[in-house]
Structures are given as C-alpha cells and as structure tokens.
C-alpha cells in the first residue's frame, strides 16, 4: 500500500508541475499580446477614430504576435476594425447600431461613449440622430399607421365599432406642472389593442395641466373620423376630463380606474397609520385595498348603489358585523369566519 501511495503522490506532483508550466507559458503569451496590442493602438489612433458613417473607410489595422514555444509556433491576429464587403453592408451595420439603441430605449450618448472608451468601431451621436430622423422614425410611423388601420378595419368587419369599451390615460415627459410634452393613449379593453396615441405640446394649450384633456379630445376626434363609437371609457379622476365627457359625450358611460383609486387611498391610509392613535390601521391597509378591488370586480354590471354598499360594509366587517349592511347588499358574501 505504501508503494502505491508513493507512486500516486509522484504522479500528482509531476502533473502539478506540468500545469504550472502551461500556466506560465499562457500568461507570457497573453502578456505579449496585450503589450503589442497597446503599442499598436497607441501608434495608430488615426485608424481607431470613431467615424460618422458618411466618411468611414474600410481599412483594417491588424496586430500580429508570434511566439515560439517549441515545438509549435502560435500565431495570433487581432483586427481593430472590420472589413466591409461593400458600402451597403457598412451602411446597414451603422443603421443597425442606431436601430438597436433606439428600440432598446437606451441613451445613445452613454452607449456610444462606452463603445468609444474601448476603441470599438462605431458611429457618432450626430450620425445616430440623422439615422433616427431619416430612417427609424419614418419606419416606426409607417408600421404603426398600418397596424392601426388593420385593427380599425377588423373592428368594423366584426361589427364591434359601435360598442367600444376603451381605457385612456396620459403620460408626460416629466412630473409636476413643468412638462413640455404629453401623450394620451386610447386602448380597446376588449381586444387589448391600442387604437390611437396623440402627442400634445404644452404651448398648444393654456398650460401643461391641460395636455391630458387635449390628448383625449384628439383621440375622440380620431375615433369619430373612423366611425368608431365609444360605449364605455375608463380613465383616472382628472377633473377636466370628467367635465368634458359630461358636457360633450353624454351617451358615454364614464368610469374611474380602480387602480388610481387604490393608489390614492393607500397614500392616505399610510399617512394616517403614522399617527400614534391610528397605528392599528397599518395592519388593515392591504385588506382594505383588496376589498376595494373586490367591490369593483364583483359588480360587472356597474350598479353604483351595490358598489357603494359593498364598500361601506367595510366599517361593519372590521367590528365583526356581517349582516344588515344596506338595502341592496344585506350581508357579506364570505362564509362563516373561524373564531379568533
């Protein structure tokens, strides 16, 4: 047994020495490659400049490093710039880079700065803006218009264009009352497809707080131009929108989005729970919000009296009273609760 162990120990020692020699050899090769690449790139900065895309030339900067560990010769080659087969291929690569930045929603300045910092062949910010203006934005508009027209046509073919259930909401480029641009989106809640998006600039309306209402008005005009009729629309509790719909769209069933109601209610409950005398409310916040959602979801016909009595039954439920809530909603819908 001792001879066998001694033989295994000698074999493992020889294997470790061989591995160490290989690591030393590879580290020397990598160090040589790095030093040579650094010297070449520093001496040829003019070949590594970031091109605008209009004046790019398909030249290459090759870095050759040879090492001579016997018995083989390792040859490494690194290209600082790709070779383009044609000018068309070069343009496609440049536009493809701009497309990836725009469609990913990232900042072109940051992305191009990263590529420049590692001496990667790329475009400039000016070229990106030119591509965005001349190619990408027109392509986006064309595809969006085509898809929207197809959706409108399908609604008309299925005879659903006279009973639309829509949801609308606005979005500004910055919070507060200093936004410059605002967009309003109308979506068909039955098929979950966007029917229209309107962009409003603050100088087109009296102030930035009027942009959301103006966006809705433009969306309604588009629907009317396509002979699309709203039956129900769901929005937030924007006072201007509420007033305009009452005065100009009397036939439309206007409802408030429960998510916005729950959001505002939660803010008030969290603030109230910070009071020393109301700390117990913090344990009920999530249950109260769930009850609010249940009141809306469990009443699909939109009976306002039923929804109101369901909501007010919360006061009785908290103190363990589950009957005689009101005229329409007499008792809780849950089963018998276990004893505490």
Mean pLDDT by 10 residues, the chain (340 residues): 51 71 61 52 39 39 46 53 60 85 91 89 90 91 93 87 89 80 93 93 90 94 92 92 93 91 93 90 92 90 88 87 86 77
The pLDDT value given to residue 65: 44
What are the extents of the domains in the chain? Answer: 18-158, 161-256
In three-state secondary structure terms, 172 is strand
- Place domain 161-256 in its CATH homologous superfamily: Ribonuclease H-like superfamily/Ribonuclease H (3.30.420.10)
Q: Do 49 and 120 contact (CB within 8 A), yes or no?
A: no
Q: Which residues contact 71 (CB under 8 A, 6 or more apart)?
A: none
- Rounded CA separation 136/103 (Å): 9
Instruction: Say how far apart CA 203 and CA 210 lie, in whole Å.
Output: 10
**CB-count exposure of residue 326 (10 Å: 0-12, 13-18, 19+):** middle
Structure tokens at 297: 């979801």
pLDDT computed for residue 60 by the predictor: 40
Q: What is the dihedral of CA 36, 41, 44, 45, to 10 degrees?
A: -160
Q: What is the pLDDT of residue 30?
A: 52
Joined together, the tokens standing for residue 176 give: 């507060």
Q: Burial code of 49-81, b = ≥16 C-beta within 10 A, e = fewer? A: ebbebeebeeeeeebebeeeeeeeeeeeeeebb
pLDDT at 88: 64
Question: Looking at residue 95, what is its pLDDT?
Answer: 86
For the question of whether the overall pTM of this predicted structure is more than 0.85, the answer is: no
CB atoms inside a 10 Å sphere around CB 295: 21
Question: Given this model, what pLDDT does residue 130 score?
Answer: 92
């Amino acid at each position: 047994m001792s001879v066998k162990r001694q033989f295994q120990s000698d074999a493992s020692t020889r294997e470790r020495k061989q591995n160490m020699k290989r690591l030393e050899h590879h580290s020397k090769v990598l160090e040589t490659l790095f030093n040579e690449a650094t010297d070449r790139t520093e001496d040829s900065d003019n070949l590594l400049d970031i091109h605008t895309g209009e004046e790019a030339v398909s030249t290459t900067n090759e870095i050759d490093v040879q090492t001579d560990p016997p018995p083989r010769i390792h040859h490494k080659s690194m290209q600082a710039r790709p070779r383009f087969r044609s000018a068309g291929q070069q343009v496609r690569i440049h536009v493809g880079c701009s497309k990836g930045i725009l469609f990913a929603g990232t900042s072109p300045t940051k992305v191009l700065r990263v590529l420049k910092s590692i001496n990667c062949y790329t475009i400039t910010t000016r070229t990106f803006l030119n591509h965005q203006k001349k190619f990408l934005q027109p392509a986006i508009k064309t595809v969006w218009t085509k898809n929207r027209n197809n959706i409108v046509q399908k609604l008309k073919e299925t005879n659903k264009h006279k009973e639309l259930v829509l949801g609308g909401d606005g979005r500004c480029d910055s919070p507060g009352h200093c936004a410059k641009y605002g967009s309003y989106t109308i979506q068909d809640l039955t098929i979950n497809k966007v029917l229209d998006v309107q962009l409003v600039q603050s100088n087109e309306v009296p102030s930035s707080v009027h942009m959301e209402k103006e966006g809705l008005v433009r969306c309604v005009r588009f629907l009317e131009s396509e002979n699309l009729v709203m039956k129900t629309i769901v929005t937030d509790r924007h006072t201007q929108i509420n007033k305009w719909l009452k005065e100009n769209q009397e036939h439309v069933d206007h409802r408030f989005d429960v998510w916005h109601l729950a959001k505002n209610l939660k803010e008030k409950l969290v603030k109230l729970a910070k009071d020393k005398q109301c700390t117990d409310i913090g344990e009920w916040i999530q249950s109260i919000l769930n009850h609010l959602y249940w009141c809306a979801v469990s009443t699909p016909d939109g009976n306002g009296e039923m929804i109101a009595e369901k909501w007010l039954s919360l006061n009785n439920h908290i103190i363990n009273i589950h009957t005689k809530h009101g005229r329409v909603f007499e008792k809780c819908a849950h089963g018998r609760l276990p004893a505490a």
